[in-house]
């Protein structure tokens, strides 16, 4: 599949600008899910095995997109949060993380620290929410053992500079929640130690399609505290409790959902064929389009202007009295966005067409015409 065919495969209704919330499923994912559902209904061993094999395929494809060929370092997860919990509960020592991170991180870190007593939280609280190398450098102490950070901040759309963060933290663990960037931005994930993401937004694969990558250092240092019976090597452990696997498989609880794995594999195959670099370039043009209209109608944008510091999210922060009228105008024009805490998060994707952008411009024009300065 090439970029044009990929863009053309976005067959949802115009007006959808909420890819950071949920990604409507791609046609190939829908077709695969239907076909596999039929196979699972057949009762034939070969058909069941065929569907089950998608778990292996999904891990292999995810590994390649991470930047490794070692699929044993990738483990499927029901959701991003599960992967992050496996990583965080297995830590010891100081854990640096932003107070404003998506609650997958903040809640897991707080619960783990309270339950185990072996993790000390080192909260980062930058004014603008950006976890920059400077912010991390200032917070670093001799006790710091890990940094957990979003690749792309779910609120502001700020894309962290993983290479610069790595320079600051040295060989401490770098745990990355890549949910808001995986599949749309070209990143060297092998700079990190743990990467967790899911497929129900930017990958268009639906729920249940998450995975986690644990690199060598992570496998050495993170204890598989939440490891279940699927986290062992070999067959079902009966009448014996073997140690957890030495691979990333240790960070699993029960068996994966083969239908979800099939959707994930299909989505990953699609973006691999198109190429992440060209997807990133095209998406940067769509977010620039959104910023163009925001600038034209004087709606403040808090997302970074440099393409390398953003991904697919553009966040608008109108004056407090303008937030409700802006959200209302967007809704009245048939646009789907996330309006929260006075901010409007606009998230286009590669296939966001001129029709949707025109509606967006019209909505901002109508809002601007009624604005009281």
Ligand X SMILES: Cc1ncc(COP(=O)(O)O)c(C=O)c1O
* Shortest CB 243 distance to ligand X, Å: 28
* Interface with ligand X (CB under 6 A), residue from 26, 73, 79, 122: 79
* Interface with ligand X (CB under 6 A), residue from 26, 73, 132, 150: 150
Q: In terms of C-beta distances under 8 Å and separation of at least 24 residues, what long-range contacts does 354-357 make, across chains too?
A: 355/14, 356/14, 356/15, 356/16, 356/17, 357/286, 357/289, 357/290, 357/293
* Shortest CB 158 distance to ligand X, Å: 11
* Shortest CB 105 distance to ligand X, Å: 7
Residues linked to residue 301 through DSSP beta bridges, in sequence order: 316
* Shortest CB 107 distance to ligand X, Å: 11
* DSSP secondary structure, 26-54, as one string: PHHHHHHHHHHHHHHTS--HHHHHHHHTH
Residue 177 binds ligand X (CB under 6 A) = yes
* Shortest CB 97 distance to ligand X, Å: 12
Task: Name which of residues 92 to 121 contact ligand X (CB under 6 A).
Answer: 102, 104
Helix or strand holding residue 147 (H, E) = strand 144-150
* Shortest CB 241 distance to ligand X, Å: 28
* Shortest CB 211 distance to ligand X, Å: 10
* Shortest CB 104 distance to ligand X, Å: 4
User: How distant is the alpha carbon of residue 326 from its chain centre?
Assistant: 27
The nearer residue to ligand X, 52 or 207, going by C-beta atoms, is 207
Local structure of residue 302 (DSSP, 8 states): -
Residue 156 binds ligand X (CB under 6 A) = no
The nearer residue to ligand X, 200 or 293, going by C-beta atoms, is 200
Residue 198 binds ligand X (CB under 6 A) = yes
Please calculate the CA angle 15-17-20 and round it to the nearest 5 degrees. 155
Residue reference for tokens 């109508």: 366
* Interface with ligand X (CB under 6 A), residue from 10, 33, 54, 81: 81
Size of site (CB under 6 A) for ligand X = 12
Residue 315 binds ligand X (CB under 6 A) = no
The nearer residue to ligand X, 59 or 198, going by C-beta atoms, is 198
**Per-residue x/- track, 35-74, ligand X (CB under 6 A):** ----------------------------------------
> How many helices (H) does the chain have, and how many strands (E)?
13, 10
- List C-alpha distances in Å: 151 to 50, 89, 91, 241, 278: 34, 20, 20, 37, 19
- Copy the structure tokens of residue 164: 């610069």
Contact 225, 283 (CB under 8 A): no
- List C-alpha distances in Å: 290 to 65, 157, 313, 364: 28, 13, 10, 11
* Interface with ligand X (CB under 6 A), residue from 16, 19, 154, 293: 154
* Interface with ligand X (CB under 6 A), residue from 15, 66, 75, 80: 80
* Interface with ligand X (CB under 6 A), residue from 144, 156, 180, 266: 180
- List C-alpha distances in Å: 184 to 135, 168, 206, 312: 26, 26, 16, 8
Residues found near ligand X in the complex (CB under 6 A): 79-81, 102, 104, 150, 154, 177, 179-180, 198, 210
């Amino acid at each position: 599949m090439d970029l044009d065919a990929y863009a053309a495969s976005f067959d949802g209704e115009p007006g959808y600008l909420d890819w950071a919330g949920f990604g409507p499923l791609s046609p190939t994912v829908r077709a695969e899910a239907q076909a596999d559902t039929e196979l699972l209904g057949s009762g034939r061993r070969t058909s069941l095995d065929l569907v089950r094999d998608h778990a292996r395929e999904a891990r292999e494809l995810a590994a390649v997109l991470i930047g490794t060929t070692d699929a044993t370092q990738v483990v499927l997860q029901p959701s991003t949060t599960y992967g992050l919990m496996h990583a965080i509960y297995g830590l010891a020592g100081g854990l640096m993380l932003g107070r404003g991170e998506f609650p997958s991180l903040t809640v897991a870190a707080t619960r783990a620290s309270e339950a185990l007593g072996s993790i000390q939280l080192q909260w980062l609280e930058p004014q603008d929410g950006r976890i920059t190398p400077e912010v991390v450098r200032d917070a670093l102490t001799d006790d710091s053992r890990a940094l957990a950070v979003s690749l792309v901040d779910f609120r502001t759309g700020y894309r962290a500079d993983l290479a610069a963060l790595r320079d600051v933290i040295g060989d401490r663990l770098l745990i990355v929640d890549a949910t808001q960037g995986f599949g749309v931005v070209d990143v060297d994930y092998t700079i990190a130690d743990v990467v967790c993401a899911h497929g129900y937004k930017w990958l268009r694969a639906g729920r249940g399609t998450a995975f986690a990558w644990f690199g060598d250092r992570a496998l050495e240092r993170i204890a598989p505290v939440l490891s279940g019976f699927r986290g062992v090597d070999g067959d079902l452990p009966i009448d014996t409790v073997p140690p957890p696997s030495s691979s990333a498989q240790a960070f699993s609880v029960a068996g994966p959902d083969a239908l979800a794995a099939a959707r994930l594999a299909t989505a990953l195959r699609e973006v691999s064929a198109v190429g992440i670099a060209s997807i990133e370039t095209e998406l940067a043009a769509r977010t620039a389009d959104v910023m163009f209209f925001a600038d034209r109608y004087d709606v403040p944008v808090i997302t970074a202007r440099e393409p390398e510091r953003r991904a697919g999210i553009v966040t608008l922060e109108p004056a407090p009295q303008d937030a409700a009228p802006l959200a209302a105008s967007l809704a009245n024009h048939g646009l789907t966005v996330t309006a929260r805490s006075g901010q409007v998060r606009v998230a286009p994707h590669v296939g966001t067409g001129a029709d949707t952008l025109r509606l967006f411009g019209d909505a901002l024009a109508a809002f601007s015409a009624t604005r009281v300065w």
